[in-house]
Structure 1
Amino acid sequence: MQSIRISLLLAAALSAAPASAKKASDHAEPLHAAYALLDKGDYAHAYPAFLRQSGKNPLAQFMLGLFHQIGWGRPVDQDAACAWFAKAARGKIPTAQHYSATCLMRTPDVPGNAGAALAEYLAAAEGGHKISLCSAAEFYIRGRYVARDVVRGLNLCGQAAMANSPPAMLLLAKYLQNDPDVPRDLAGARHWYQLAAGHNVPEARYQLAIMQSQGDGGPVDSSAALGNMEALAAAGYAAAYLPTAVLYAHQPPQADTGAPSAEHLAKAYLWASAAKASLADPAPAEKLLASVLALMPAEWRPGLDRKVADHLAKFAAPRATGASPGA
């Protein structure tokens, strides 16, 4: 898992327009030994290996910033991290430019900081770090440090979304769904959640399922809502447990008996039980369980309870607040 994480960080750091890709690759070439140490979790030797290259190598400077930001082998030190990110940003490392802008916004009221941060976000996006456009969008949508221009802000974040950035798709959907500073556009929100869900963004899939089940921004699609929600629940996304149980509990009854099918009843019990064990407030799950148990044969419970226990043990899900995934 460590090597995968480091590879992703390197790819993010080297996000760049094609014209600057060769230069970015040249920065990475002298750092192979340092990355190998970091890949092994040998922080004590990796840090000085990057430090030795940091005089003229902005990618080494960026990595040193990550050491301090994340706390690899040392206490977290945001001030030290920001100092390294600022150096790397001057070397046109796009992710460093983004982080440097975020550092400036720690103290946005210092004269010049907000303007410099906006410029850094836009430069990072120009270099290939497209999600930085959504950070720039915040300035215009909120009207902080610049004249308020919601359309311009949405267009900026929309550029990132249309550049195939799943995080930007998610942010744009949130803006359009229920942001107090943005005109509500449920159809637009549903569209962007749909696209982000196609990139396996769990929160987007969750919000899309809610909209599908309620008919927000488009027609009710109970089948798609249930499919999306149960897939999330099966993957340990704890916020999806109770909605999945509710969707099963509200499936149409059998035509011949007028009662829920055995499968729907069992699934409602399974996911309501998982919700009861996982949510900070178990009361809604307990209420649903009571209605299910009034119909479900008692002899089903031991086998179903074992399935719930196995699922929860697999994901070791902490109690959720209602919108976060299981571990």
Structure 2
Amino acid sequence: MKFARPSALRIMMIATLLAVSGAAHAERDKAVDKAMEAAQAALTAKDYPKAYAMYLRQSDRNGLAQFVVGMFHQEGWGRQRDPVKACTWFEKAAQHKVPAAANNWADCLAQGVGRAADIPAALKWYDLATQQGHLISACHAADYYLQGKGIPQDVPRGMAMCTAVAQASSIPAMLQMAGYYEQGRFVPQDLARARAWYQAAAELGSTEAQFHLGVMLAQGDGGPADLAAAVNWLESAAGSGYVPAYLPLALLYAKLPVQADTGLLAPEHLAKAYLWNSAAKATVTDATARAAVERLDGMISAVMPAAWRPTLDQQVAAHLAQHAH
């Protein structure tokens, strides 16, 4: 049976929590610190049974250990997912003032995992998590005010809550704000504002934002079209392994102006179109996208020298291997 593996981002988050916890409790038992560091090392090494057992041994007195045990059950790391067990552990860790656990416990309450949903109680825990430094919790709470789900609807309050977090340079909050304005959810559609929030998040390194910004720049959504900037942002996202950027980037390269003397794409643009289309061919599953990939592949094959393929195919294989999940 295949179980989920923790992403590098999840592991980094846990390592950060461990460091913060250690700084906040410098006087605690050094043996506990060493045990937690060893458990983190096992998790980083993807030795899930060993890591789980080590965190579990510390879970009677350590809130961070309780949180990570909850993550094992929530994410299915080396075991079946069990949301009810996960929420039980998150509640324990939240009582020990672990900010991420307070957020996850609020999710449990809001979603009614193993019990009836309790939105007012969830909002209290989101607020505690925010006060403890888990700022995106304010955006999670904001959604309930925006939807009027379980509480009276209050769109201005919800927007103000999430805007404040986005203005504090929280990338998830920036993405959430961009989505509200791009889709016209709860507020009138405003593509210029959406583009501005994507721009802010893209500049902080968000590949998802870089992708959306690139598409908006290519299409002229929310401001003037800028194909050169669109290519740059999509290339940044695609180069980091963001799969949705592959095909749009290949199509942009294929649509760049041709050379006046040959009537063909510049060699570097043709090669890039082939590279990113090949990456898309290896990763996309949507039928419409696959049809677009095949059409572009046929167009490229008609003009690209066959001698280029082996080298370019090696580059594609290396990129995909580097960013395999």
TM score, norm. by length of structure 2: 0.82
Deviation at 1:234, TM superposition (A): 3.1
Which of 132, 137, 157 does residue 152 from structure 1 map onto? 157
CA distance in 2, matches of 1:276, 1:45: 38
Q: Which residue does the alignment assign to 2:277?
A: 272
Give the CA deviation at 1:15.
Answer: 6.8
SS of residue in 2 equivalent to 1:252:
coil
Whether contact under 8 Å (1:13, 1:94) holds in the other structure is no
Task: Decide which moves more: 187-196 or 267-276.
Answer: 267-276
Q: Quick one: which of 277, 286, 294 aligns to 2:294?
A: 286
Name whichever of 185-194 and 63-72 sits farther off.
63-72
| 8 Å CA contact retained: 2:147, 2:153 | yes
The structure 2 residue matched to 1:40, chosen from 36, 39, 42, is 42
For the residue of structure 1 that corresponds to 2:111, the secondary structure is coil
The CA deviation string for residues 19-40 of structure 1, in whole angstroms up to 9 with x for no partner, is xx96555679663122233113
Give the CA RMSD over aligned residues.
Answer: 3.2
- Amino acid in structure 1 at the alignment position of 2:42: K
Query: How big is the shift at 1:51?
Result: 4.7
1:139–1:34 distance in 2 versus 1, CA, 3 Å: same
Q: Which of 125, 134, 140 in structure 1 is aligned with 2:130?
A: 125
After superposition, residues 15-164 of structure 1 pair within 5 angstroms as 23=24, 31-38=32-39, 39-41=41-43, 47=52, 50-51=55-56, 53-72=58-77, 74-107=79-112, 113-164=118-169
Shift in CA distance, 49/307, structure 1 to aligned 2, threshold 3 Å: closer
- 8 Å contact 1:105–1:114 — kept in the other structure? yes
Q: In structure 2, which of residues 230, 234, 241 is the aligned counterpart of residue 236 of structure 1? A: 241
| TM-score of the pair, normalised by structure 1 | 0.82
Amino acid paired to 1:286:
E
The one-letter code of the counterpart of 1:40 is A
Equivalent AA in structure 2 for residue 162 of structure 1: Q
From the superposition, tell whether residues 48 and 247 of structure 1 become closer, same or farther in structure 2 (CA, over 3 Å).
closer
Provide, for residues 220-243 of structure 1, a one-character-per-residue CA deviation record: whole Å limited to 9, x for no partner.
111111111123333333222221
> Displacement, 1:117?
0.7
How far is 1:259 from its partner?
3.7
Distance change >3 Å, CA 115–CA 226, structure 1 → 2: same
Deviation (angstroms), 1:52:
5.2
1:139 is displaced (CA, Å) by: 0.1
CA distance in structure 2 between the aligned counterparts of 1:302 and 1:111, rounded to whole angstroms: 64
Identity of aligned residues (%): 41
User: Which amino acid is the alignment partner of residue 33 of structure 2?
Assistant: H
Q: What does the per-residue CA deviation read over 1:201-222, in whole Å, with 9 as the maximum and x for residues that have no partner? A: 1111100100111111122111
Amino acid at match of 2:202: A
Q: Which runs of 5+ in 2 are unaligned?
A: 1-5
User: Structure 1 residues 269, 45: CA separation in 2 closer, same or farther (over 3 Å shift)?
Assistant: closer
Q: 1:154 to 1:77 in 2, by over 3 A?
A: same
Structure 1: tracts of 5 or more residues without a match: 318-324
Count residues with an aligned counterpart: 313
Tell me how far 1:11 sits from its aligned partner. Answer: 2.2
- Output one character per residue of 1:266-325: Cα deviation in whole Å (capped at 9) or x when no partner: 32233223323332232112212333344x15xx224235413442354249xxxxxxx8
Bigger RCO (CA 8 Å, 6+ sep): 1
Which one of the candidate residues 181, 190, 194 is aligned to 1:185?
Answer: 190
What is the DSSP-based 3-state SS (H/G/I as helix, E as strand, rest coil) of the residue aligned with 1:223?
Answer: helix
- On the 8 A contact 2:112/2:118 being kept in 1, the answer is yes
Give the Cα separation in 2 of the matches to 1:228 and 1:191.
14
**Alignment partner, residue 214 of structure 2:** 209
8 Å CA contact 2:207, 2:240 repeated in 1? no
User: Over residues 84-140 of structure 1, what are the superposed CA-to-partner deviations in whole Å (9 max), with x where a residue is unaligned?
Assistant: 211221222211110101111231896671111111111101110001111101101
> What letter is aligned with 1:37?
A
Contact kept? 1:31, 1:50, Cα under 8 Å: no
